[in-house]
Structure 1
């Protein structure tokens, strides 16, 4: 394949002059004869200009900075993406937050990114709109991503059902689930709430399948919500054999309140959470949790974005990352 240096040698000019002619540099002072000679030789040598790939990746998240502080789950996803971008020597554009306080003021700006990685549960219409501005798009943590858009997530519904089957194998039937409602956002950050979180739906299905009375508290996702549920259970003398928290922050709040109520874990009640964030290492006794492989989310998402940047594939992929129960002191299957 001919190079700029080959053209320069044949034309008797510098490689820099060739490059500026081929890039139609209006500030270059060169005679029409020389310009034509360069273009003719370029055609004769069948030179093809190598297009520079735009390797800048932009993260769009529906988690505010405040949300990332109160629930590190979304912060850890963002940091996992940034770590992988750095490892692959790609570049990172400024993170855009569509969180209800901030909104996407100029959606066309995402066209300037080589690829975009979207974190969180945006509505399908919103995802299709974003995809219309940048086809090189990957969505993290949203199983309802349209099939024509790349996505990576874990099947939390299946993980919950498998967990409950392990619980039942211990002849346990008193299981309480504590969680919140699912929130989706549009381009303005306006939330839509719906009580169809896959963990809760799977819990309901399991209860029906085994003819077990449902005992769920759909209260929210924060530590304070977990504390309040334990207060209510103690007040009602309704402490179950096993508590399942929809995320780690709930589990931490529940652990703190159980300790305050002088209820021993796992002797009097067992506890399991979801996500398995690093913050659990500071809780005693150590909490069993369904591990969501956030690092794998980051690696897979950036790899998929890079494939799109380099036109390696045109068919959308959905990657389902296994969620595994990590057994610690608060529950043993």
Structure 2
């Protein structure tokens, strides 16, 4: 197995320099010619970083998707999330096998070589029997884990909403509406966080107006565009018109855009 020292000896540099170049250390000051020589030497010797060698030992990772293909296509965010995970696994030389929740256990799916999983769109209330083949080797991607034994990677939706509202406010928007899913109570549920944060910020600014809140408790089987369109049509019937609209997600935003376009409003001239 090729070592850092082998590359250093061949390139005529120190092992520390080789290690820092191959690990992409941004603080390292080394000339482009020397950097190129180190990388080409490593490639010619078929050197693999410990991370890539670990990827081969891991075998494969299951991407466990809780949305069926039609639901996923209806929510571009989850398409991008899955593709991003698959791309990163490929970069790390880890074989990623995408399986649907109901496929686990059928015909040996996802297979005995799969020892870990990344879950997408899981809900705390979902049946946890699917987790058995992976033990504790599960990461929940932008969804809530059933307990603290598992790692979760999530977006801070509350802070993101507050930053969005602050930005709109600083740019002169005063009548900021919210369109999408949400119920101010039960704000611990992931789908409620955005709306709860919106209400919180608007009340702190003494600007809360219930007529500017067009929300539904039902995602309509993730037909987000249809939901956004219908709620925005209702919003535009108000006597007081919004000068900015915050959409629950990308799909809802498409519906908002269509409703504004059909009613002759321009973005961002009339509504941000």
Q: Normalising by structure 1, what TM-score?
A: 0.54
Q: Normalising by structure 2, what TM-score?
A: 0.65
Residue-by-residue CA offset, 1:275-296 (whole Å, 9 max, x unaligned): xxxxxxxxxxxxxxxxxxxxxx
* Equivalent position of 1:97 in the other structure: 100
Taking only aligned residues, the RMSD between alpha carbons, in angstroms, comes to: 2.9
CA distance in 1, matches of 2:124, 2:82: 20
Instruction: Tell me if 1:153 matches 2:154.
Output: yes
Instruction: Tell me if 1:256 matches 2:253.
Output: no
3-state DSSP class of the match of 2:266? Answer: coil
Change in CA separation of 1:128 and 1:177 when aligned onto 2, cut-off 3 Å:
farther
Change in CA separation of 1:110 and 1:151 when aligned onto 2, cut-off 3 Å:
farther
5+ unaligned residues in a row in structure 1: which ranges?
1-51, 183-193, 271-333
Choose between structure 1 and 2 for higher RCO, CA contacts under 8 A separated by at least 6 residues.
1
Residues 140 and 153 in structure 1, CA contact (< 8 A), matched pair in contact too: yes
Cα distance, 1:236 vs. partner?
A: 3.0
CA distance in 2, matches of 1:87, 1:196: 32
Change in CA separation of 1:107 and 1:62 when aligned onto 2, cut-off 3 Å:
farther
* Equivalent position of 2:72 in the other structure: 68
Cα distance, 1:144 vs. partner?
A: 5.6
Count of aligned pairs = 204
* Equivalent position of 1:134 in the other structure: 135
3-state DSSP class of the match of 1:96? Answer: strand
Query: Residues 1-333 of structure 1: matches in 2 within 5 Å?
Result: 53-93=57-97, 95-98=98-101, 102=102, 104=104, 112=112, 113-123=114-124, 126=127, 130=131, 133-143=134-144, 146-181=147-182, 197-214=192-209, 215-219=212-216, 220=219, 222-270=224-272
3-state DSSP class of the match of 1:211? Answer: coil
3-state DSSP class of the match of 1:159? Answer: helix
CA distance in 1, matches of 2:91, 2:151: 21
4+ aligned runs moved over 6 Å, structure 1: none
Cα distance, 1:196 vs. partner?
A: 5.4
CA distance in 2, matches of 1:167, 1:161: 10
3-state DSSP class of the match of 1:217? Answer: strand
CA distance in 1, matches of 2:254, 2:182: 19
Cα distance, 1:145 vs. partner?
A: 5.8
Q: Which has the higher helix share?
A: 2
Residues 110 and 134 in structure 1, CA contact (< 8 A), matched pair in contact too: no
Cα distance, 1:96 vs. partner?
A: 2.4
CA distance in 2, matches of 1:130, 1:79: 22
CA distance in 1, matches of 2:192, 2:111: 32
Cα distance, 1:109 vs. partner?
A: 5.7
Q: Which structure has the larger Rg over C-alpha atoms?
A: 1
3-state DSSP class of the match of 2:234? Answer: helix
Residue-by-residue CA offset, 1:270-318 (whole Å, 9 max, x unaligned): 1xxxxxxxxxxxxxxxxxxxxxxxxxxxxxxxxxxxxxxxxxxxxxxxx
